Amino acid sequence: FDDRDGFIWYNGEIIPWRDARIHVLSHGLHYASSVFEGERAYGGKIFKMKEHHERLLRSGALLGFQIPYSVAEIDLACEEVLKVNNIVDGYLRPVAWRGSEMMAVSAQKSKIHLAIAAWEWPAYFSADARLEGIRLDFAEWRRPDPATAPVASKAAGLYMIATLSKHAAEAKGYNDALMLDYRGQIAEATGANVFLVQDGKIHTPIPDCFLDGITRQTVIALARSKGYEVIERAIMPEELANTQEVFLTGTAVEVTPVREIAHYSFTPGAITRDLLLGYDEMVRKPG
């Protein structure tokens, strides 16, 4: 992914994509003092830009560091990245990390770096897979207790179990993994939140040990505005037996129907379709 044309915003400057490098002694690499964002541009406009950049600063603060740019500065930087790369519909990846100024667990005086890349990325899963619904396996790893890790931070370190879980699912032919939490309740997929439809009502886990996704919040509001009842509650995996529809939400996956979770199967139905189309319409609305 590093050897290509294009430009990356790096600590306030636009530099060639290939030159956007870090030192091997970066604290972020050794000790996971790194946070990031994932956001999408539709028709040249970044959806929920302010929310993403507020979350980026909050993610850093939860790891004990202050990113040395304001929300407004990061907004402008992202718009510049789209412009210099000629991207209208794409994905943006801001990432902040502690640098290589100090090499020890304690690195209070290290510099906080920020880089922003963007690339064209039409859909996380292919259009066919999206309409048919994707297949998930249960992950072996569980989302940690909020007393174990700063779970509300979009922190790189929390993605170690996501990559392990996704690789294990892919090795068995699945698209992604569904993670339970430390209590055994349904939590989320490796990079997206999860919703269940039971008897016409929409149920989703309470985000107390995983990200309360910006797409999750958007889809809950959209569903309620369409008159659906949305219930946030603890959900055990056994309940999948009396669930008719399942879908994921996230910046990258948007609204993605799920047709299988291990031995449970579902038929992406009217409610999933309604929200999928409603979300598509909302993000692509000009202005």
User: Smallest distance, Å, CB 101 to ligand PMP?
Assistant: 29
Residue 134 and residue 127 in contact, taking contact as beta carbons nearer than 8 Å: no
User: Both tokens of residue 48?
Assistant: 């929920």
Which SS3 state, helix, strand or coil, does residue 155 take?
strand
94 binds ligand PMP (CB under 6 A): no
Per CB under 6 A, the segment of 10-18, 22-30, 84-92, 210-218 that binds ligand PMP is 210-218
85 binds ligand PMP (CB under 6 A): no
210 binds ligand PMP (CB under 6 A): yes
The interface with ligand PMP within residues 188-207 (CB under 6 A) comprises: 188, 191-193
Q: Are strands 254-261 and 134-138 parallel, antiparallel or unpaired?
A: parallel
**Set 50, 83, 109, 154: catalytic member:** 154
User: Smallest distance, Å, CB 187 to ligand PMP?
Assistant: 9
β-bridge mates for residue 113, sequence order: 97
Q: Could you write out the DSSP letters of every residue in 82-134?
A: HHHTT-SSEEEEEEEEE-SS--SS--TTPPEEEEEEEEE-S-SS-HHHHHH-E
β-bridge mates for residue 245, sequence order: 197
| Residue owning tokens 């964002």 | 37
User: Smallest distance, Å, CB 215 to ligand PMP?
Assistant: 3
The interface with ligand PMP within residues 238-267 (CB under 6 A) comprises: 249-251
Note if 45 is an active site residue: no
The interface with ligand PMP within residues 14-53 (CB under 6 A) comprises: 38
Which residue, 130 or 216, is less far from ligand PMP as judged by CB? 216
| Cα diameter, the chain | 56
Residue 254 and residue 123 in contact, taking contact as beta carbons nearer than 8 Å: yes
216 binds ligand PMP (CB under 6 A): yes
Binding site for ligand PMP (CB under 6 A): 38, 162, 188, 191-193, 210-211, 213-216, 249-251
Residues involved in catalysis: 154
